[in-house]
């Protein structure tokens, strides 16, 4: 069973919660913080991630884990990532440890538990999507992984169809 990703309405709720979290910290610190980019494009096993990419600050949330555990993520993942963003703004990521005392202090300010890993049951959450390449045998189409495709290209691997036993050839 595969889960559906978080709905548009759900995403809006999460963005609102992210902004509330920031506003709360801003009031306590007497400073305004602008909302960083918020994306729901994180894949794999992590619920959230804060990163600076090409000078753009971004909080990324996992749309499947948020769909499955919305309340828990609103209470934990949102302040966790907001705290990363805030410590970046206040100290610079380079100058602190990711979950060090600065981050823990901001978490306390946000009224959140400074927990680093949440163990969710991730059944139904799709893992990182792998790139697939189209191949054909005598009986039908196949999709093979990048690793195998590279082996075929370099001549170090050949693959045969389990049904018809003919060799798989790249379909382009």
Residue with tokens 């050839």: 169
Residue 158: CB partners within 8 Å, gap ≥ 6? Answer: 152, 167, 168
**Which of 137, 149, 152, 168 lies at the binding interface for Zn ion (CB under 5 A)?**
137
25 versus 137: smaller Cβ distance to Zn ion: 137
**Which of 29, 38, 93, 161 lies at the binding interface for Zn ion (CB under 5 A)?**
161
Please pick, among 81, 102, 113, 167, the residue that the annotation labels catalytic. 81
Extended beta strands in the chain, E state: 37-39, 48-53, 56-61, 132-136, 141-145, 169-170
Q: Judged by CB under 5 A, does residue 75 bind Zn ion?
A: no
Q: Judged by CB under 5 A, does residue 160 bind Zn ion?
A: no
96 versus 161: smaller Cβ distance to Zn ion: 161
**Which of 115, 139, 143, 160 lies at the binding interface for Zn ion (CB under 5 A)?**
139
Q: Which stretch binds Zn ion (CB under 5 A): 54-62, 86-94, 106-114, 159-167?
A: 159-167
**Which of 23, 164, 170, 171 lies at the binding interface for Zn ion (CB under 5 A)?**
164
Give the three-class secondary structure for 74: helix
Residue with tokens 């309340």: 71
CA-wise closest residue to 157 among 141, 168, 142: 168
42 versus 137: smaller Cβ distance to Zn ion: 137
Eight-state DSSP code of residue 53: E
Residue 146: CB partners within 8 Å, gap ≥ 6? Answer: 130, 131, 132, 133
Q: Judged by CB under 5 A, does residue 153 bind Zn ion?
A: no
Q: Which stretch binds Zn ion (CB under 5 A): 26-34, 61-69, 104-112, 133-141?
A: 133-141
User: Rounded CA gap, 118 and 97, in Å?
Assistant: 19
**167 has catalytic annotation:** no
> Catalytic site residues?
81
Residue ranges that bind Zn ion, judged by CB under 5 A: 137, 139, 161, 163-164
């Amino acid at each position: 069973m595969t889960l559906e990703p978080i709905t548009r309405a759900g995403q809006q709720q999460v963005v609102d919660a992210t902004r509330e979290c920031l506003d709360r910290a801003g009031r306590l610190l007497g400073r305004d913080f602008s909302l960083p980019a918020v994306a729901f494009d994180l894949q794999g096993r992590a619920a959230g991630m804060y990163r600076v990419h090409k000078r753009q600050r971004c909080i990324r949330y996992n749309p499947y884990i948020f769909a499955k555990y919305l309340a828990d993520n609103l209470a934990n993942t949102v302040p966790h990532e907001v705290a990363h963003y805030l410590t970046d703004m206040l100290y610079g990521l380079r100058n602190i440890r990711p979950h060090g005392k600065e981050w823990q202090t901001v978490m306390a300010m946000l009224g959140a538990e400074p927990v680093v890993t949440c163990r969710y049951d991730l059944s139904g959450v799709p893992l990182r999507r792998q790139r697939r390449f189209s191949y054909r045998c005598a009986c039908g189409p196949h999709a093979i992984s990048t690793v195998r495709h590279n082996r075929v290209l370099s001549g170090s691997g050949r693959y045969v169809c389990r049904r018809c036993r003919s060799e798989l050839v790249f379909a382009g």
